[in-house]
Chains A and B, each alone.
Chain A
Amino acid sequence: MSFIQRVIPNFTIRRVAHTAAILGSIALLAALIVYLSESALTTPVFVLLVIGLGGLSIWLVLAPDELRDWLMGRQVYYGIGSFILTLIVIAIATVGYSLAVEQNVIIDLTETQNYTISQPSINVLENIENRLRVLSAQAESAGIESDLHFRLVGFYTREQLRDQKSAEFLLRQYVEASTAGLRLEFYDPDVNPLLARQFGYSVIFDNTQITSGPIFLALYDGDQLLTVENIGEPTERNVQNAMLRISLAGEFKVYFIQGQLEADITIESDVGYSAAALILRERGILVDTLRLQDVEAIPEDATAIVILGAQAPYSQAQVDKIADYIERGGRMLVLADPPYADSRDSTLPNRFMLEGDSFNTYLWETFGVRFRENLVADPASSARNEFILTGLRVNTGSPPLRDFQNVPMVMTLARSLDIVEQPTEKQAEYVRSIMILAATSAFGERNLQVVDLGNLSEFDPNVDDAGDQVLATAIYRVNELEQEVQPRIILIGDSDWLANLYISPEDGSDGVLGNILLWANIAEWLTGYADLAEIDVASRPDLLPLYATSKELSRIQFITLFILPSIVLLVGGVVWVVRQRI
């Protein structure tokens, strides 16, 4: 003993016991950690366990009184009591958290209700799930076992877990509303690259242009992926559109009329109209062309016909076929340009929809609307040319534009519409709802001979059309829902706004957002798609870029960087000085 004490001063048996106890505890802790990480009773775990128990036994043998004191002591009693109580509180809190997650209570305070799914959305979901049941029943009756179900699949990388979470808040509501086992799944595209490729996931974030994904609606049979529909960013509208595309695939068909020098929907250059057709196809709408001369009547499967910038007049026979179609509840969009030679074919002046021709007369007599022979000029236009119309006034009260977002829109070389003031009995069967007006400064230039690009027009009160220049109007039956058939017509005095240049320019830029939205709104209203996809998205000025004058900015700087901190400092200083004097 004395020898040991010489080597290690302060040596006592108690000290040995303490050291053994500490080492033993550390070894036990290490054993636990290793066991948890390997989740198996491996050799190192065993060795550590033995060391730990050995150390504690040495302590027990060498200092038996300590354990007894320790166990009997009040510190241990209260310490362990507090510790256990704390564990219980944490456990209750954790259980409560998972209960809270299950409750799925979300209050959406956003003005535009970005995260709330509306009843129409639930109806659409019901609709697709009903179709799914029919498909399943068909398969079963054919003796094929099937487990058809939809999944909402999101692809988020580890870095985007945050976005995933907020997507989850919206998408969870669909799962909640589902009656056919809709599932919500999230994958990391970096971890599951094959799956991501299968879904066609491709997201380019650096220019915020999202090509495909991150959310998809997928139809599965068991674990087998059948079809994928891109949803894009998780918004109610996107989800609903994807669901509609799946449930309405092939239901809608739009014919572009050909034969009277209409615009070509196959040309992909800036002056072509291929993008217009593409946007329809993306919505699951079938697109075809139709020559009225070749058919007895417009086919039954036509959801709508589009007359896109015709240059030649329609014959009485053609108009009769159109009238017959409308009688049957057909839907029609007419985009007519001003009757003068435009750049597309400068040899022939445009003779479509002249005042008094059979088509225009039909429109006037039946619906109380006709195209005027004018060219709308806006001397106050902010564009470089007065025939490029900006500052268009959009009537969001008009049914096709109900969820139109108030963003800039452009029309060029347009003609205006004449709308009957005292409708006849026949005309009174229809509602004429003005959709777009030119700016208040615009007028209809009648002198089409002198008007040429580059020349300035001049308002002649005796000839020219004054007052509000109607550029687009929608026509539908009074009390539409009570009618047997529901024809719908949209007349627009310009076709150029729909050219690729405006809705999908070749240079890859975004185009004019207002024009794209106008086309989408028109298509959805005419096909009846909008009646299904009825989301009241209020106009979204929050999508506009921030604008402030430099004066406003410097005022804000003055207030927030000078006044506010100074007041705080001043109050603090006053308090300090006052208290120094007490």
Chain B
Amino acid sequence: MRNIWTIFKREIRQYFVSPIAYLVAFAVLLLLGLSFNTDLDYRVANQLRPDATLVLSNFAFLMVFFAPLLTMRLFAEEAREGTLELLMTMPTRDVDLVIGKFLGAWVYYCVLLALTLVFEGALLSITNFGPEGFPLRSRVDIGQIIAAYIGIFLYGGATIAIGLMFSAMTENQIVAAFLSMAVLLMLWVGDIAGLVPASILSTEVVEALRVISLQSHYSSSFLRGLIVLEDMYFYIAIMVVSLFVTTRLVESRRWR
């Protein structure tokens, strides 16, 4: 436990002193800002209802590409740079090492996620808390936003756990990032596998893909304001399984 905290502190500090982390945050916020403003303009011009969860679903999609960038270094870089050798000869259980690193990345992710609250604030300033007048202000459902944030928070944990697993699998950061991007993308598009014609993917396969898809477990529940036990469980299970496999992979260095 103590070592988890030690590793976590080091990792989180690492994120906040590294220019890469700021560049990632900058890129994510800029992309989100562009899509957010485009969407606002479009909705105002076409008199459509506001969608408070759009920023979050975009954020979740961007994480398919950015989460691997956050996690690739965690083990692959240490293995490549040789710093892992000292780390692994410390009196630390491998699972503490894995959890510490995981929590560090997850907290950094949460900071990024928290920054997106600015977009929600902007939307609320012209809806629920907008100056009243005519035409009437629309409202967004704050409960729905809360549920969506809980969902995307858990989703992030799952993506990071998967990224971490690939980072522990290889010593090459780029390979780790590509592998986890590919897997995350597949798990992400699994939700919309139904768009593939039936001649290529049977409906059973499509439904099976949706069950393991990372997107489907927030798109029809959390994003709509629901906290569903099975979806919450799904993300936690993905995290637990991924971290378990990661621990076994790290541990395997000791007996391979």
Direct chain A–B contact by Cβ atoms under 8 Å:
yes
Interface of B is mostly: helix
Known: A78-B255, A548-B44. A97 touches B230 (CB 8 A): yes
Interface pair A561/B30, CB less than 8 Å apart: yes
Per the bound structure, the CA–CA distance linking A188 and B225 in Å amounts to 26
For residue A578, give the distance in angstroms from its CB to the closest CB of chain B: 9
Cβ contacts under 8 Å, A560 to chain B: 29, 32-33, 36-37, 118-119, 122
Interface pair B244/A165, CB less than 8 Å apart: no
A194 within 8 A of B: no
A289 within 8 A of B: no
Per the bound structure, the CA–CA distance linking A27 and B252 in Å amounts to 28
Interface pair A166/B248, CB less than 8 Å apart: no
Other-chain contact of A556, B126, B139, B226, B237 (Cβ < 8 Å):
B126
B48 within 8 A of A: yes
Of the 9-residue stretches B1-9, B20-28, B85-93, B98-106, which lies at the interface with chain A? B20-28
Interface of A is mostly: helix
A460 within 8 A of B: no
B172 within 8 A of A: no
Other-chain contact of B26, A191, A546, A559, A565 (Cβ < 8 Å):
A565
Interface pair A110/B22, CB less than 8 Å apart: no
A8 within 8 A of B: no
Cβ contacts under 8 Å, B115 to chain A: 564, 568
Annotate A152-169 by CB proximity to B: 1 below 8 A, 0 otherwise: 000001111111111001
Cβ contacts under 8 Å, A78 to chain B: 252, 255
Per the bound structure, the CA–CA distance linking A543 and B137 in Å amounts to 10
Interface pair B146/A541, CB less than 8 Å apart: no
**Chain B residue at minimum C-beta to C-beta distance from A570:** B22
Per the bound structure, the CA–CA distance linking A410 and B19 in Å amounts to 59
Of the 9-residue stretches A84-92, A138-146, A246-254, which lies at the interface with chain B? A84-92
Annotate B158-184 by CB proximity to A: 1 below 8 A, 0 otherwise: 000000000000000000000000000
Per the bound structure, the CA–CA distance linking A553 and B44 in Å amounts to 9
**Chain B residue at minimum C-beta to C-beta distance from A93:** B237
Interface pair B33/A82, CB less than 8 Å apart: no
Cβ contacts under 8 Å, A96 to chain B: 233, 237
Q: Which A residues from 378 to 436 make CB contacts under 8 A with B? A: 382, 391, 406
Per the bound structure, the CA–CA distance linking A72 and B96 in Å amounts to 30
Interface pair A561/B34, CB less than 8 Å apart: yes
For residue B98, give the distance in angstroms from its CB to the closest CB of chain A: 14
Interface pair B48/A561, CB less than 8 Å apart: no
A572 within 8 A of B: yes
Cβ contacts under 8 Å, A107 to chain B: 147, 226-228
Interface pair A542/B22, CB less than 8 Å apart: no
**Chain B residue at minimum C-beta to C-beta distance from A579:** B17
**Chain B residue at minimum C-beta to C-beta distance from A556:** B122
Q: Which A residues from 148 to 194 make CB contacts under 8 A with B? A: 157-166, 169, 188, 190-191
Interface pair A159/B195, CB less than 8 Å apart: yes
**Chain B residue at minimum C-beta to C-beta distance from A539:** B139
**Chain B residue at minimum C-beta to C-beta distance from A157:** B194
**Chain B residue at minimum C-beta to C-beta distance from A116:** B226
Per the bound structure, the CA–CA distance linking A159 and B203 in Å amounts to 10
Per the bound structure, the CA–CA distance linking A560 and B127 in Å amounts to 17
Other-chain contact of A547, B125, B138, B144, B210 (Cβ < 8 Å):
B138
Cβ contacts under 8 Å, B234 to chain A: 97, 100
For residue B255, give the distance in angstroms from its CB to the closest CB of chain A: 4
Interface pair B241/A93, CB less than 8 Å apart: yes
Interface pair B141/A542, CB less than 8 Å apart: yes
B12 within 8 A of A: no
Cβ contacts under 8 Å, B17 to chain A: 575, 579
Cβ contacts under 8 Å, B134 to chain A: 382, 391
For residue B80, give the distance in angstroms from its CB to the closest CB of chain A: 22
A497 within 8 A of B: no
Annotate B39-50 by CB proximity to A: 1 below 8 A, 0 otherwise: 011011001111
Interface pair B203/A191, CB less than 8 Å apart: yes
The 9 closest A-B pairs by CB, nearest first: A572-B22, A158-B194, A165-B220, A110-B225, A105-B229, A109-B143, A545-B47, A544-B138, A107-B227
Chain B interface residues (CB < 8 Å from chain A): 16-17, 19, 21-23, 25-26, 29-30, 32-34, 36-37, 40-41, 43-44, 47-50, 115, 118-119, 122, 125-127, 130, 134-144, 146-147, 191-192, 194-195, 198, 203, 206-207, 210, 216, 219-221, 224-230, 233-234, 237, 240-241, 244-245, 248, 251-252, 255-256
